[in-house]
Amino acid sequence: MTLHLFKFSYLIRYIFLGIFLKFFFSGSLFAANGADSFGVELENQVQQQNIVTGTVTSSIDGFGLPGANVFEKGFPERGTATDFEGNYSIEVSSADAVLVFSYIGFGTVEKSVAGQSVVNVMLEPDQDALEEVVIVGYGTQRKETVVGAVTQTTGEVLERTGGVSDVGSALTGALPGLITSASTGLPGGEAPQIVIRGQNSWNGTSPLILVDGVERPEFFNNMSISSIASMSVLKDASATAVFGSRGANGVIIVTTKRGLSGKAEITANFNSTMKVVSKLPGTYNAYDAIGVRNRAIEYELSTNPASWGQIVPEEIRDKYRNPADLAERERYPDVDWQKVLFKDYAMSYNANVNIRGGTDFVKYFATLDFQNEGDLFRDFENSRGYDPGYEYNRLNFRSN
């Protein structure tokens, strides 16, 4: 291959030099103009930042509401809270943004900014929340008249907790001030200990549990979650005073579902849960475990010389790892007991059917619930006529 090299004349060189100089000077002028335009754009960006201020007040007395939530609709990360006087300041994405105002006990209000820099809002009380009925002691009160520490939840909320077989486990993390602690994973024995506002006494910390007005703590642990209509937890002295000393550790009041006027309503649910071991401790095989044991004996020889006779010789230790035949394999076994004793997973099943209805004269409700809890331990045949494995089956039927 032949390459032909061309020589540029002096005129062409001057032309390229002129183009370079023109580009250099025009680039300098462009940079200067760009700096000016950058300053203008930066000023415009500052002007385009939409800062909205205002005051959130109550329609009852006209005073500001401290701690009211204010955020831009569609952008929950753009939010703030009002100060002690009810004032707020928030940056919105555009002049047409919509602000959402909310406060405990008051209705939520949405208001468009519409290019304004000051948006004041007056919140109205939420009458539905204030008129809600709360079960307190042996009666009911409107929510706005309750002065004691009472927390309430419903059966629908508890049913959202999947993978649990008892009411106590469903309450875990569901109500403030209620603490649960479980110490076993035995099928049927997973019901946790319930403590309200911490441990109050060494003699007993269990709260008083009433199911439809009757003290039934044993039924509470075995009842079906789907049969619960509402649950109230009374936590302080003013709320539990009607129960005397029996309510010293708090009171849990359970109201079960009742029949309703109207056509028969049949509800069926089925769910299954897979359980696996969360974490197991690390293990050594037989060869390494014997090595650790021998080193421990060596370290204590100065204080216990007689322990030298308990050291396993190296030729015997090696047979655990490399047995010569079947006889040595059986005599010097190397068993991973975690794999032998535990399953990879266990299944749990729950099925229930509810029917409710009635007329103005008579109302009815009936529920049938079946719970099966499998165990993570393997089942072994012992040829003794019984199943040594753990399993829990529960069948509940209730009507009123």
Measure the CA–CA gap between 18 and 259, rounded to whole angstroms. 97
Structure confidence by residue, pLDDT tens digits, 74-127: 887 788 989 988 999 999 988 889 999 988 778 889 999 988 899 999 998 875
Where do the structural domains in the chain lie, given as residue ranges? 50-128, 130-257, 286-335
Q: Which CATH class is domain 50-128?
A: mainly beta
Q: Could you give the percent of the chain with pLDDT greater than 90?
A: 19
What is the model's pLDDT at position 139? 54
Kindly give, in sequence order, each residue whose CB lies less than 8 Å from that of residue 383, ignoring residues fewer than 6 positions away: none
Measure the CA–CA gap between 99 and 177, rounded to whole angstroms. 33
Asked if 234 and 149 count as a contact pair (C-beta separation under 8 A), the reply is yes
Asked if 149 and 236 count as a contact pair (C-beta separation under 8 A), the reply is yes
Q: Are strands 50-58 and 121-123 parallel, antiparallel or unpaired?
A: parallel
The residue behind tokens 């406060």 is 103
Q: Report residue 287's pLDDT band, with 50, 70 and 90 as the boundaries.
A: very high
Measure the CA–CA gap between 227 and 256, rounded to whole angstroms. 6
The residue behind tokens 């335009």 is 37
User: Residue 112's closest CA among 67, 152, 54, 64?
Assistant: 54
The torsion angles phi and psi of 360, rounded to 5 degrees, stand at -65, -20
Q: Above 50 in pLDDT, residue 243?
A: yes
What is the model's pLDDT at position 221? 80
Q: Above 50 in pLDDT, residue 33?
A: no
- Residue 204, both tokens: 């007993």
Tell me the average pLDDT of the chain: 80
Residue, of 192 and 53, whose pLDDT is higher: 53
What fold is seen in the domain 130-257? Ferric Hydroxamate Uptake Protein; Chain A, domain 1 (2.170.130)
Asked if 317 and 269 count as a contact pair (C-beta separation under 8 A), the reply is no
What is the model's pLDDT at position 169? 86
Measure the CA–CA gap between 187 and 179, rounded to whole angstroms. 21
- Residue 353, both tokens: 């059917």
- Residue 47, both tokens: 């002007």
